[in-house]
Amino acid sequence: MTSGRTVSDLMSTDFDTAHTEPTGADCPDCPERPDHPDRPDCTGCPDRTGRLVVLLDGAGIPHGLTGPDGRGPVVVVSARLDIVVLLTSVDILDALDGTAGLVVVRAGTAVVGVVPVDALREEAVRFLETAGAQLGVDSDPLGRPTDFPDPVRITCTDCGEENEFEYYVQGKAYTCQKGPHRLVPLSRRGGT
């Protein structure tokens, strides 16, 4: 499922960039000390202006993002990435923990914008509110079917017990759900 909308539709061009050395080299006082006074030249200090600052290495490649809570990790995405793909990517959503947002690039590394984490939350809510209606009543907001088929039942010839699976892939090795041994279906022993 795709929306036809891309990350560039969400991004803001209201951001700054700063060329900096790797973590902490530009401000020896910064390592997350609450008594450290904010310094405008410190890329590790929280940004009190509300603007996100993309930290670039010497080659211009994003390697950090500074926002209201200070310096955090960078999550870089393509401006052409579909919003639905973004919102349903567990890897991307997990990577957002502790960051102020996404850094948006074109042509591999050219920074063209940012997507603040608040904008992502708003888009996720909008997506979840509308996706179910677009997909019909037989699916949840992420498009997974809610009318689940009956489970696949396979009898293990080692113990004679029935195992239930949401799906079964012939040729894949399974552990019997009823005991600590390999599941051997009837068809593997010459049965039906």
Indicate whether this model's pTM tops 0.95: no
Residue that has been written with the tokens 């005991």 in this structure: 179
CB 46 within 8 A of CB 150: no
Same domain, 126 and 154: no
**How far is the CA of 52 from the CAs of 14, 84, 133, in angstroms?**
8, 24, 35
pLDDT tens string 11-20: 999 998 887 6
Same domain, 118 and 156: no
CATH of the domain at 114: 3.10.580.10
Number of CB atoms found within 10 A of residue 130's CB:
12
How big is the CA angle at 160 (ends 154 and 161), to the nearest 5 degrees?
Answer: 60
Domain encompassing residue 11: 7-135
Q: Report which of 73, 71, 75 is spatially closest to residue 39, judged by C-alpha positions.
A: 71
Same domain, 176 and 129: no
pLDDT tens string 53-101: 888 887 788 888 888 877 888 888 888 888 888 888 888 877 777 788 8
Question: Beta 15-19 vs 162-165: how paired, if at all?
Answer: unpaired
